[in-house]
């Protein structure tokens, strides 16, 4: 028997009745009262409406309704529809019906609501259905009594709230604390249909308006992005502290290495010796001068031996730094002696315009120390 024949008895019913083809998200049968409720011009106009474009919370609710009806259940729920933008609140009785091609569909009968609901209640219900906050109401054992569309989208249909949690054993302690009168807040890992997320969860005891017993109202907000950003910031801060500590250590070690590569030696009789090892660049010249010049001024030194035996081949800039150092030593009233000049350094000094007037130059530091003692 065709669908139209099976539903012929409902054609003249004063109760709006229609059939929703779930797969195609379209109405495929409606009686006259249904046409009037949906404010449709005619059947073709209503059948052309695409219900897949409704807001996501409504789609989720339709899917949940279809899942219940598929189990051969008659579902009774309060729905508010908006045909042509005008709100219509009804008590919807939904059941399963088979289409002519054997596919599943939902037969809906829209009865007047039991009493006129308060506008505040209607708005509160709509807010609950459209909010992105995931809300559930459970009995003391954690069995789900209600979940809003956002929760259905996130977790699908489950029997217990604990099934939402990555650690289900944490559910009992939170429920007990809420039933003891606490407003409990936790950050927990949860298992959504899209994978593991981090939720901020609040639970509080609320009396069930249907059964009268106490239950727990729970709401979840997804804090994965925020907490992830905070943890990333903390990790960046920790890494920055480690980097600063490492840089401080490197700077300390660099100073120690510089000092070792150009140690200031007291060789007696108001004389200092400074063996320079490695390259003599601007940074090393400044560091050596910062240690050497105060040592000259503060100890009455009148002779300084600069030993270049271990110095790397200097470029013109390095030669200028050496010349500047010799000039600074002489300005402090000490005489400068240079020892250990290698051929390459000699050529560089000449090319840089080095004037050795007034400077004692000998072949080795041993000779320099001997010459210094004779003076």
Q: What is the pLDDT of residue 15?
A: 95
How far, in Å, CA of 373 to CA of 29, rounded?
120
Average pLDDT over residues 293-300: 83
CA dist 40 → 10, 36, 80 (Å): 18, 6, 17
How far, in Å, CA of 193 to CA of 84, rounded?
34
- Identify the residue with better confidence: 355 or 41: 41
Pairing of strands 271-275, 303-307: parallel
Mean pLDDT of the chain: 87
Contact present, 43 and 28 (Cβ < 8 Å): no
Most confident of 144-158, 208-222, 246-260: 144-158
Average pLDDT over residues 11-24: 95
Q: What is the pLDDT of residues 85-120, one digit of tens each?
A: 888 889 999 999 999 999 999 999 999 887 666 677
Tokens for 123, please give them: 């708005």
Q: What is the pLDDT of residue 375?
A: 61
Most confident of 138-142, 278-282, 303-307, 368-372: 138-142
pLDDT(9) > 80: yes
Q: What is the pLDDT of residues 299-329, one digit of tens each?
A: 778 889 999 888 876 777 878 888 888 889 8
Q: What is the pLDDT of residue 290?
A: 86
Q: What is the pLDDT of residue 95?
A: 96
Q: What is the pLDDT of residue 113?
A: 80
Q: What is the pLDDT of residue 254?
A: 66
Q: What is the pLDDT of residues 219-239, one digit of tens each?
A: 999 998 887 777 777 788 888
Average pLDDT over residues 248-264: 69
DSSP of 43-98: HHHHHT--GGGS-HHHHHHHHHHHHHHHTTPPEEEEEEE-GGG--EEEEEEEEEEE
Contacts of residue 246, defined as CB under 8 A and 6 or more positions apart, other chains included, come to none
Average pLDDT over residues 12-29: 95
- Residue 161: pLDDT band by 50, 70, 90 thresholds? very high
- Residue 123: pLDDT band by 50, 70, 90 thresholds? confident
Contact present, 66 and 41 (Cβ < 8 Å): no
How far, in Å, CA of 53 to CA of 26, rounded?
11
pLDDT(83) > 80: yes
- Residue 166: pLDDT band by 50, 70, 90 thresholds? very high
Longest dimension (CA), the chain: 133
Total-model pTM: 0.50
- Residue 260: pLDDT band by 50, 70, 90 thresholds? low
Q: What percent of the chain has pLDDT over 70?
A: 96
Contact present, 94 and 110 (Cβ < 8 Å): no
pLDDT(194) > 70: yes
Most confident of 103-107, 127-131, 269-273: 103-107
Q: Compute CA 205 distance to the chain's CA centroid, rounded to the nearest angstrom.
A: 32
Q: What is the pLDDT of residue 197?
A: 94
């Amino acid at each position: 028997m065709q669908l139209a024949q099976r539903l012929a008895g409902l054609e003249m019913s004063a109760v709006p009745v229609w059939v929703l083809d779930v797969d195609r998200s379209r109405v495929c049968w409606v009686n006259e009262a249904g046409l009037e409720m949906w404010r449709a011009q005619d059947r073709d106009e209503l059948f052309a409406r695409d219900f897949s474009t409704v807001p996501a919370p409504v789609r989720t609710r339709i899917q949940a309704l279809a899942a219940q009806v598929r189990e051969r259940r008659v579902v009774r729920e309060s729905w508010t529809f908006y045909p042509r933008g005008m709100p219509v609140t009804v008590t919807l009785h939904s059941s399963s019906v088979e289409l002519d091609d054997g596919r599943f569909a939902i037969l809906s009968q829209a009865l007047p609501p039991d009493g006129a609901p308060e506008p505040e209640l209607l708005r509160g219900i709509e807010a609950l259905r459209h909010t992105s906050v995931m809300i559930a109401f459970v009995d003391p054992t954690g069995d789900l009594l209600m979940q809003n569309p956002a929760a259905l989208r996130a977790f699908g249909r489950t029997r217990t709230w604990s099934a939402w949690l990555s650690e289900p054993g944490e559910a009992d302690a939170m429920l007990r604390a809420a039933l003891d009168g606490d407003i409990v807040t936790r950050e927990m890992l949860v298992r959504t249909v899209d994978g593991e997320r981090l939720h901020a969860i609040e639970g509080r005891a609320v009396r069930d308006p249907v059964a009268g017993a106490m239950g727990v109202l729970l709401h979840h907000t997804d804090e994965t992005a925020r907490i992830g950003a905070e943890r990333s910031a903390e990790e960046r801060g920790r890494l920055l502290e480690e980097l600063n500590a490492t840089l401080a250590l490197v700077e300390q070690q660099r100073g120690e290495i510089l000092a070792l590569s150009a140690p200031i030696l007291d060789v007696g009789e108001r004389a200092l010796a400074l063996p320079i090892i490695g390259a003599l660049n601007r940074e090393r010249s400044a560091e050596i001068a910062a240690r050497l010049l105060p040592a000259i001024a503060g100890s009455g030194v009148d002779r300084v031996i600069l030993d270049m035996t271990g110095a790397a081949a200097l470029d013109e800039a390095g030669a200028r730094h050496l010349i500047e150092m010799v000039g600074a030593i002489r300005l402090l009233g000490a005489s400068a002696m240079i020892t250990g000049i290698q051929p390459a350094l000699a050529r560089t000094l000449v090319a840089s315009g080095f004037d050795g007037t007034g400077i004692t130059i000998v072949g080795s530091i041993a000779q320099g120390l001997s010459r210094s003692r004779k003076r």
